[in-house]
Amino acid sequence: MTKYLTGCACCFILLLSVTARAADTDSSTDASADTAASVDRMGMMERRLNSQEQRISELESEREAAATMAKQHAERTLEIEEELDATRLELDELASQLLSPPPQKKLEIYGFFDTTFYKAWYGHENSVLKSAHLPYSTFMMSHVNLYFSSQMSDTLSALVETGFSFSPLGFETNVPVDAYSYNEETGEMAFIPGLGDTGEYERVDTMVPGGITSTTVRYGSVSIVRAYLDWGPREWLNFRVGQYLTPYGIWNVEHASTVLLGVYYPNLMHWDLVPASQLGVQAFGRIFPSDYLQLSYALTLSNGRGPTSTVMDWDENKGMGARLQLDFTKGKLRIVAGSYGYFGKYSDGERRAEIYLNSDLTRHYKNGSPLGSSIIFSNKYSEYIITFDLEVALAGFEFFGEAVHRKVDYIVHAPMHPDAQFVQTGTYSESRRAANHFSQSAYGILAYRLPISAIAPVKITPYVGVDWLAPDDPLKWFDQTTLRGGVNVKPSPFVAIKAEGIVDKFDDVLGGKMTSVSAQLAVSF
């Protein structure tokens, strides 16, 4: 095998030698031309190489420049992003300030009004109650109240409530009392001239004829319902100065016909057993002993009750009152119980200017001056009032009620009303005076808000109640019991529609029973 391979290699070498010798012989003539072409080509390639190296160098320079620039851009981007974050933050703050509420509103104006339809029926045809309420159905507008409310700062606010009224239009300043004698034989009544109050019937008419460019006008009046400044440095300590609603009970505080459940006011308010408002100062506040409990108080100091209490006081004595209230709320249960006590003095009379003369009608200087004055009181009494109120609400049911006990001690006894004298004694005397007395009244109302979600947001609340009054304990025939029932419908938070029926049970002397129905639309705006 080895010998065979060695032989093949020798033959291959000999073949190569023969082939090379033949090639040298064929190309010997083109050698010089090939050499020149190769040199040219090499030169060209060298130039190209140099060009490419230069290009590479340029590209590397550009790449380095680009990297430097990119680095600069990245740094700049970072800076811009930081600036952007800062700007965004500032923008957020600015937007928040624009979005955030103004801490206080300088002035808000709003109000409410109501229109009522009323009809009453009396126990007998000549009921004396008709002298107080006409027996005809009528529409009436009792309230057109405007509020001006301002929150000047976190602790300072003011409220003015004005009441526009058609009064004194229609006010009867004198309803004469005619006397009749009954003839038992004929059964007829005969007018007795000269007996009773024979004065003229007087009613205020505010109509003013219009001019060429206007129609006839019936002017009305504006009353200041309340006007006060509140300063509240602490939750538990606030001060109120001005004319304010007396902080007693429920009805007097709820106040507006859009808030009140029923149409008729309770008897204790009809009879003004507690002054509805006072002019003076008040301190009030509240604390929260626990999550469910709130204790409130109010202390009042005012002119008290008087014929001109909002202008001037007719005595040095000031009306003083204090209220305590407990408010317990847990889940759907709410219990509010309160009490208000008041002591004050009512004084009414007239002022007189006087001149002092000697017996020879010369000026008398004994007191330093011949001129003087005096105050003559015609009615003066002290009154002590205590009120209680309770409100319990649970699962749509609500019970609320108030009670008032008032004691009147005369210092200067007022003349007794002629009608009261006649009923009480059967006679009339100018010298007969009103007696010290107690006044008491209480009412309770049970209401239930129907859970009818199908007609939401309309709220329907039927209610029933009873109201008892004994305004003057020596005059028992003044006592009155009232049964009431009705429904309050609120189709929106701004509208209340009410319908109510009332049965008043008076003493037979006053005409016995009086039945009335009413409907009211109350609107807040």
Binding residues (CB under 8 A) for another protein: these are 92-93, 95-97, 99-103, 105, 108, 110, 112, 121, 147, 149, 151, 154-155, 157, 159, 161, 232, 234-235, 253-256, 258-259, 288, 291-292, 294, 329, 331-332, 450-457, 459-460, 462, 490, 492-494, 515, 524
Of 56 and 324, CB closest to another protein: 324
Q: Which residues pair with 294 in a beta bridge?
A: 327
Counting other chains too, the contacts that 289-292 makes at CB distance below 8 Å and 24 or more residues apart are 292/328, 292/329, 292/330
Of 294 and 317, CB closest to another protein: 294
Of 147 and 422, CB closest to another protein: 147
The CB-of-239 to another protein minimum distance in angstroms stands at 15
Question: DSSP readout, 257-296?
Answer: TTT-SSSSPPHHHHTTSS-SEEEEEEEEEEEEEETTEEEE
The CB-of-156 to another protein minimum distance in angstroms stands at 11
Q: Which residues pair with 326 in a beta bridge?
A: 295, 337
Of 292 and 428, CB closest to another protein: 292
Of 248 and 478, CB closest to another protein: 248
- How far is it, in rounded angstroms, from Cα 359 to Cα 46? 156
What's the one-letter identity of residue 205?
D
Of 240 and 345, CB closest to another protein: 240
- How far is it, in rounded angstroms, from Cα 445 to Cα 262? 10
Say if residues 319 and 310 touch (Cβ distance below 8 Å). no
Residue 27 DSSP SS3: helix
The CB-of-238 to another protein minimum distance in angstroms stands at 10
The CB-of-241 to another protein minimum distance in angstroms stands at 15
- How far is it, in rounded angstroms, from Cα 324 to Cα 190? 58
The CB-of-53 to another protein minimum distance in angstroms stands at 58
The CB-of-329 to another protein minimum distance in angstroms stands at 8
- How far is it, in rounded angstroms, from Cα 106 to Cα 95? 23
Of 164 and 438, CB closest to another protein: 164
Q: How many CB atoms lie within 10 A of CB 390?
A: 16
Of 3 and 106, CB closest to another protein: 106
- How far is it, in rounded angstroms, from Cα 284 to Cα 253? 14
The CB-of-56 to another protein minimum distance in angstroms stands at 53
Chain centroid to Cα 428, Å, comes to 49
The CB-of-294 to another protein minimum distance in angstroms stands at 7
Residue 290's region, left for phi above 0, alpha for psi from -120 to 50, else beta, is beta
